[in-house]
Amino acid sequence: MFEQLFKSINERVALTEEEKELCKTFYTFRRLRKRQFLLQEGDVCKYNAFVEKGLLRSYTVDDKGNEHIIQFAAEGWWISDLYSFLTGVTSVYNIEALEDCELLLLTKSASDELLARLPKFESYQRILLQGAYIAMQRRIHASLNQTAEEKYLNIIDIYPDIIQRVPQHMVASYLGLTPETLSRVRKQLILPK
């Protein structure tokens, strides 16, 4: 039930058995069926969620009704609307299970207390955020400067697993392309040669 989490933590900081036990007490376990929501637009994001099993997405819906996917999260990833979670302001994001999920949830108060009680958790979070920040910077660079084809090749390269598990139009949404454009890009990539 905590395998993925301690794997994730262990890759970054070393916890004693005692610390692991302490750590466990702050989480609540939750199952989510495919299509269920962890967060809906207009609600406050109550949880920072760690994915033990399954796959989720966070997305917004614009005024024309189009969905824009911000993030996917599979096993070993965290997902939340960090801004809403930290400030208590209502969220503009939705977080939805794309597969049946097993999650470990941290409320804001649990998170604060864990940070206070376990300095290594603070390190863990900082290191996670560093990685997330670096990944984000790359994604921005890609989204600003790459063609549709380059973006697609790029995501295949970085998240080959995600593309396998997600409908194509969601990959398109994540890349900021229309489903039609992605379909044509793929066609071009297969035919030539």
- Quote the tokens at residue 5: 């989490």
CA 39 to chain CA centroid, nearest Å: 13
Q: Rounded to whole angstroms, how far apart are CA atoms 153 and 46?
A: 35
Closest CA to 150 of 188, 117, 113: 188
Partners of 140 in the beta sheet?
A: none
- Quote the tokens at residue 11: 């890759």
Residues 122-181 close enough to bind DNA by CB under 7 A: 147-149, 167-169, 176-181
Contact 16, 120 (CB under 8 A): no
| Nearest residue (CB) to a second copy, 134 versus 189 | 134
- Quote the tokens at residue 30: 């939750």
The item of DNA, a second copy, none sharing an interface with residue 149, based on CB under 5 to 8 Å by kind, is: DNA
Contact 97, 38 (CB under 8 A): yes
The item of DNA, a second copy, none sharing an interface with residue 186, based on CB under 5 to 8 Å by kind, is: DNA
Q: Is 53 in the site for DNA (CB under 7 A)?
A: no
The item of DNA, a second copy, none sharing an interface with residue 122, based on CB under 5 to 8 Å by kind, is: a second copy
Q: Is 108 in the site for a second copy (CB under 8 A)?
A: no
Rule CB under 8 A: which residues touch a second copy?
60, 62, 68, 70-71, 82-83, 86, 115, 119, 122-123, 125-126, 129-130, 132-134, 136-137, 139-141, 143-145, 175-176
Rule CB under 7 A: which residues touch DNA?
147-149, 167-169, 176-187
